[in-house]
Structure formats: C-alpha cells, structure tokens
Amino acid sequence: PVRCPYCDRPFRRARYESFHRGLEHPDRLSERERATVERAIREERAETRRFRLYALGVLVLLYFGLLIIAAFVV
C-alpha cells in the first residue's frame, strides 16, 4: 500500500496515488512529481486504447460468427 504524502490517504497501487496527487494536489507537485503523473496518465491512455481495440475485435468476431451461423441455419 502507498500513501499520499500530502493527505495520508492509502492506495493499492503507486499509479493510483500518482493520479490522486495530480487531481487533488496539483499546486503542491514538484517537476519530478508532475512528470510521474503525466507518465501515469500516458500509460493509462495506452492501456485503455488496447482494451478498446481488443473489445472491438471481439465484437466484430462475434458479429460475423453469428452472421455465418445464421446463414447456414436459415
């Protein structure tokens, strides 16, 4: 567990604590902490993009799979 140095709130992961500091304490951050927050945001965006592409691929495969099954049944 990681704790915020400013308000002592606990977090399960260091990235969550970085997001918290960027959102709740932006005026108190040093340049190094700001860079950490920005890196965490970039990583989160990349993971979200990968998830969206994966979900889109699954939906497309499901759609065409059901379409092909329906074509053979009907």
Rounded distance, CA 10 to CA 61, Å? 41
Mean pLDDT of 47-67: 98
Q: What are the b/e assignments for 15-49, b being 16+ CB within 10 Å?
A: bebbbbbbeeeeeebeeebeebbeebeeeeeeeee
pLDDT band (50, 70, 90) for residue 46: very high
pLDDT band (50, 70, 90) for residue 70: very high
Q: What is the mean pLDDT of the chain?
A: 94
**What are the Cα distances from residue 47, in Å, to 11, 27, 41, 43, 54?**
20, 27, 10, 6, 11
Tens digits of residue pLDDT in 12-38: 998 899 999 999 999 999 999 999 999
pLDDT band (50, 70, 90) for residue 43: very high
